[in-house]
């Protein structure tokens, strides 16, 4: 639906605005950053009469911590707030079987991640950090009485060389040596105020916790190759507004509400494409938490699997594929309606999900570099040799999409069993759902044999073709996924992966309809972070199509790829230079994305980069060769 005429927006003006925002904000706004780090793992060790908990984070972060004594409903606890940090791997509650700690809880908020350590008795609690890669937060709990404690303490994200001391009283936590503390940062030996004197803040450990957050983002991209039938530029303006609320209901009971709305506008270059404006509900759900379980209902993003940009086990949420894989996985994922329940034991966990309604992925059929049929329609219309009747015919091709209604028998369900050993985490899962991409049952032009090459000679392609008055007939069909995943750390290298068997996947074929085939997809690899802040991610992918047909486009019976990322953090965490890559060994096609991310200005993140596709035109990556882009992105968070 086009709500704003194309002529009302100047695309070059959008690009100038993005560049302006990345360059002119004053350097005095330096003490806050919007770029989100990620909590990677947690280790718990019991030594004599103390417990040591280590959290690994993939980037240096600003953090704040405090100790809260027991009250009528809650046990004593110490908590750490990790600002601009998300939880990528840990459950919301982990039971700990030792003398000091009963449970470790995590609350993932868009502006921060809260880690709460529930204690069995009043104890001494210290928090230290180590500015290595990965960044380490260490929480130590002892049986000493917390006679000396501190006011809430805030450590700058730019801390470089924090002294990692042995277990010390909470009042003796050391502040970063190389930087002056921010205006909020205080380290003191004064006693913690009593419960009724606790400082109140928007993110405090209050009985009723309400926070409002949001962000606005502008993305703009320009093709490096100019072709009459191709997109030349695309612009995407989006924003999100959210509210998080928490209420403690008693001993080990709480209620969480997360709500968010998205507003997005996409400006296409193609004259045939309609600019999209969407106002939609984002992650919005209510969650009730118990001591070792939780249950939630609403629109949710649930991430299964351990790999990054290709995750075959991650089948619960549809994706926004209007820009193919050029956006990261978490940016592509779309929350969907579900009822979710989780139970945690000491070493095992069970998760169940029911999805009452079907939700398809977002994509285009025609008139985009990333559409199912790419720019095939525009290439006919822009062909000077094509007769007017043919141009008018392809201009009026329509799609009839048959998707499941909201009847009860169209529900989806999934279950996951997790277990931990001393050295590794494992999970097995099953999802009975729907394929979120369509199966094309019929295409209106018959008797064609398309190779997938966007430079195909249209005269030869359409020679002998039969033109009907039919529509493109698309249907959404059932799909089942069985998955297995694993993760372990062999210092300093992390090893993780996943494998899935999918009973039916739709593949585009040479007659422009779909073939559905069973698939096994394995992705496994390593992560390495050095003390000098180099990061390396290397993964291998094996994609096998059973009962393979030679007319399937872009993929072979066995497709083997190497993918991952390498980056280097500079300028005390304010600049990151890196490259994401995907190289297909079986057909020598590739996708490279070098980038630079600046996080210097308060609440702003700026990114500049290039997307480079290469390979033969009939390969998956090579077919996008003319879609190489230079892009820029600026994001403001509050």
Beta bridge partner(s), residue 506: 516
Which residue, of 163, 196, 227, is where some domain finishes?
163
**CA 529/CA 447 separation, integer angstroms:** 54
Instruction: Identify which of 127-141, 539-553, 569-583 has the greatest average pLDDT.
Output: 539-553
- What's the token pair of residue 107? 């609350």
pLDDT tens track for 10-45: 544 444 444 444 544 433 333 333 445 778 788 888
pLDDT at 153: 53
DSSP, collapsed to helix, strand or coil, labels residue 354 as strand
pLDDT tens track for 163-187: 333 332 322 232 232 223 333 322 2
Q: What is the percent of the chain with per-residue pLDDT over 90, rounded to a whole number? A: 45
Same domain, 361 and 482: yes
Same domain, 155 and 213: no
**CA 288/CA 231 separation, integer angstroms:** 47
Whether residue 563 contacts residue 581, with contact meaning beta carbons closer than 8 Å, is answered with: yes
Whether residue 231 contacts residue 266, with contact meaning beta carbons closer than 8 Å, is answered with: no
Query: 229 in a domain, yes or no?
Result: yes
**CA 62/CA 32 separation, integer angstroms:** 8
Same domain, 128 and 224: no
pLDDT band at 376 (very low <50, low <70, confident <90, very high): confident
pLDDT for 511 beyond 60: yes
pLDDT at 182: 32
Same domain, 159 and 223: no
**CA 201/CA 186 separation, integer angstroms:** 16
**CA 467/CA 152 separation, integer angstroms:** 72
CATH number of the domain residue 66 falls in: 2.60.40.3500
What is the average pLDDT across 522-550? Answer: 93
Same domain, 374 and 520: yes
What is the average pLDDT across 355-383? Answer: 89
**CA 482/CA 524 separation, integer angstroms:** 16
Beta bridge partner(s), residue 425: 420, 487
pLDDT for 6 beyond 50: no
pLDDT at 285: 96
**CA 183/CA 29 separation, integer angstroms:** 13
Same domain, 76 and 217: no
Angle at 221 (CA atoms; ends 220, 224), nearest 5 degrees? 160
Which domain covers residue 600, as residue numbers? 208-637
pLDDT band at 380 (very low <50, low <70, confident <90, very high): confident
Same domain, 444 and 545: yes
Same domain, 320 and 427: yes
**CA 254/CA 246 separation, integer angstroms:** 7
**CA 363/CA 454 separation, integer angstroms:** 19
What is the average pLDDT across 149-157? Answer: 46
Same domain, 601 and 454: yes
Higher pLDDT, 600 or 565: 565
Report which of 91, 187, 635, 101 is spatially closest to residue 417, judged by C-alpha positions.
91
pLDDT at 133: 65
Higher pLDDT, 384 or 117: 117
- What's the token pair of residue 202? 């928007």
pLDDT at 500: 98
**CA 5/CA 587 separation, integer angstroms:** 42
pLDDT at 109: 65
Same domain, 274 and 129: no
Query: 173 in a domain, yes or no?
Result: no
Report which of 275, 285, 207, 205 is spatially closest to residue 242, judged by C-alpha positions.
285
Which residue, of 163, 180, 196, is where some domain finishes?
163
Integer CA distances (angstroms), 111 to 84, 199, 437, 638, in order:
5, 19, 33, 8
**Within 10 A of 322 (CB to CB), how many other CB atoms are there?**
20
What is the average pLDDT across 573-591? Answer: 95
pLDDT band at 476 (very low <50, low <70, confident <90, very high): very high
Number of domains in the chain: 2
Q: To the nearest whole number, what is the mean pLDDT of the chain?
A: 81
Same domain, 140 and 222: no
What is the average pLDDT across 282-294? Answer: 92
Same domain, 104 and 220: no
- CB-facing half-sphere around the CA of 269: CA atoms within 13 A: 22
pLDDT band at 274 (very low <50, low <70, confident <90, very high): low
Query: 290 in a domain, yes or no?
Result: yes
Q: E strands within 509-603? A: 514-529, 534-545, 558-570, 575-584, 589-598
**CA 369/CA 4 separation, integer angstroms:** 22
pLDDT band at 197 (very low <50, low <70, confident <90, very high): very low
Higher pLDDT, 194 or 313: 313
Which residue, of 163, 187, 219, is where some domain finishes?
163
pLDDT band at 238 (very low <50, low <70, confident <90, very high): very high
Instruction: Identify which of 201-215, 466-480, 490-504, 613-627 has the greatest average pLDDT.
Output: 466-480
Query: 555 in a domain, yes or no?
Result: yes
Query: 119 in a domain, yes or no?
Result: yes
**CA 139/CA 235 separation, integer angstroms:** 45
pLDDT at 169: 30
Query: 213 in a domain, yes or no?
Result: yes
**CA 187/CA 182 separation, integer angstroms:** 11
CB burial class (10 A; 0-12, 13-18, 19+) of residue 5? Answer: exposed
**CA 96/CA 103 separation, integer angstroms:** 5
Query: 187 in a domain, yes or no?
Result: no
CATH number of the domain residue 430 falls in: 2.40.160.10
Query: 277 in a domain, yes or no?
Result: yes
Measured distance between the N- and C-terminal CA atoms of the chain, rounded to whole angstroms: 30
């Amino acid at each position: 639906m086009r709500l704003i005429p194309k002529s009302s927006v100047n695309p070059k003006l959008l690009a100038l605005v993005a560049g302006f925002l990345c360059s002119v904000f004053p350097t005095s706004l330096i003490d806050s950053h919007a770029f989100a780090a990620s909590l990677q793992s947690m280790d718990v060790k019991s030594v004599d009469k103390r417990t040591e908990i280590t959290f690994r984070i993939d980037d240096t972060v600003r953090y704040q911590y405090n100790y809260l004594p027991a009250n009528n409903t809650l046990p004593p606890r110490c908590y750490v707030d990790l600002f601009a940090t998300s939880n990528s791997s840990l459950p919301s509650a982990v039971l700990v079987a030792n003398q000091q700690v009963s449970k470790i809880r995590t609350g993932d908020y868009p502006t921060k991640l809260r880690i709460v350590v529930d204690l069995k008795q009043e104890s001494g609690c210290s928090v230290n950090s180590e500015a290595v890669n990965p960044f380490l937060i260490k929480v130590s709990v002892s049986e000493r009485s917390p006679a000396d404690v501190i006011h809430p303490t805030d450590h700058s994200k730019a801390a470089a060389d924090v002294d990692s001391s042995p277990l010390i009283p909470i009042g003796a936590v050391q502040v970063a040596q190389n930087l002056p503390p921010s205006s909020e940062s205080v380290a003191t030996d004064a006693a913690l105020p009593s419960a009724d004197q606790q400082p109140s803040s928007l993110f405090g450990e209050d009985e009723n916790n309400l926070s409002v957050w949001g962000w606005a983002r502008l993305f703009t991209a320009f093709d490096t190759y100019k072709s009459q039938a191709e997109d030349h530029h695309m612009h995407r303006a989006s924003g999100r507004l959210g509210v998080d609320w928490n209420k403690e209901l008693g001993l080990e009971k709480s209620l969480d509400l997360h709500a968010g709305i998205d507003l997005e506008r996409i400006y296409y270059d193609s004259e045939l494409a309609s600019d999209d404006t969407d106002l939609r509900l984002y992650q919005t759900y209510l969650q009730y938490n118990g001591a070792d379980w939780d249950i939630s209902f609403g629109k949710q993003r649930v991430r299964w699997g351990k790999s990054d940009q290709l995750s075959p086990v991650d089948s619960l949420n549809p994706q926004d594929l209007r820009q193919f894989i050029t956006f990261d996985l978490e940016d592509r994922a779309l929350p969907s309606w579900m009822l979710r329940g989780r139970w945690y034991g000491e070493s095992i966990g069970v998760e169940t999900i029911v999805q009452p309604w079907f939700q398809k992925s977002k994509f285009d059929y025609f008139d985009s570099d990333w559409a199912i049929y790419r720019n095939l329609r525009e290439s006919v219309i822009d062909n000077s040799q094509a007769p007017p009747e043919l141009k008018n015919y392809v201009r009026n091709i329509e799609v009839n999409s048959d998707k499941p209604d909201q009847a009860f028998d169209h529900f989806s369900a999934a279950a996951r069993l997790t277990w931990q050993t001393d050295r590794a985490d494992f999970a097995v899962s099953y999802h009975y759902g729907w394929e979120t991409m369509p199966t094309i049952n019929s295409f209106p032009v018959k008797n064609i044999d398309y190779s997938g090459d966007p430079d195909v000679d249209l005269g030869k392609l359409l020679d002998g073709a039969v033109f009907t008055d039919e529509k493109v007939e698309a249907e959404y069909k059932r799909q089942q996924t069985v998955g297995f995943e694993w993760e372990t750390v062999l210092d300093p290298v992390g090893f993780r992966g996943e494998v899935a068997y999918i009973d039916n996947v739709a593949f585009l074929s040479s007659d422009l309809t779909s073939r559905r085939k069973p698939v096994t997809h394995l992705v496994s690899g390593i992560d390495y972070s050095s003390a000098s802040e180099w990061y390396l991610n290397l993964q291998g992918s094996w994609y096998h199509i059973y009962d393979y047909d030679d007319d399937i486009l872009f993929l072979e019976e066995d497709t083997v790829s190497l993918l991952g990322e390498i980056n280097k953090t500079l300028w005390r965490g304010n600049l990151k230079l890196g490259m994401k890559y995907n190289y297909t060994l079986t057909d020598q096609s590739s996708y490279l994305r070098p980038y630079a991310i600046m996080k210097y200005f308060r609440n702003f993140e700026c990114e500049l980069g290039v997307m480079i596709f290469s390979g033969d035109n009939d390969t998956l990556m090579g077919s996008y060769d003319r879609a190489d882009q230079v892009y820029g992105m600026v994001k403001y968070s509050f």
